[in-house]
Homo-oligomer: A and B are copies of this chain.
Amino acid sequence: MKAAFVMVKCELGRLEEVANAVMELDGVSEVHSVTGSWDLLVKLFAPSYEAFGDLIPDLLQKVPGVRETQTMLAFRAFKPS
């Protein structure tokens, strides 16, 4: 499985509703509310990197109350030695 992190900005005042809806999407494993200019950090998994190209516009961006997203694909996970 491949991992991606997606930063999400919500319509103002809808953070909790969006976070709960995102949490129910297939492949989403973590949703955190964060300080700064983004509202949520989402970790999700897909069988291939190509799959994120569909998953994010077709699923995540269609959650009501999502206003903007920024995707970072995770390439390597470093492990303690």
Contact = CB atoms under 8 A, between A and B. Distances in A.
Contact of A23 (B22, B68, B71, B78): B78
Interface residues of A, number: 47
A3 B32 contact: yes
A36 B77 contact: no
B39 A57 contact: yes
Given A12-B61, A23-B81, A41-B5, A53 B32 contact: no
A59 to B, nearest CB: 10
A52 interface: yes
Contacts of A61: 12-13, 15
Contacts of A31: 77-78
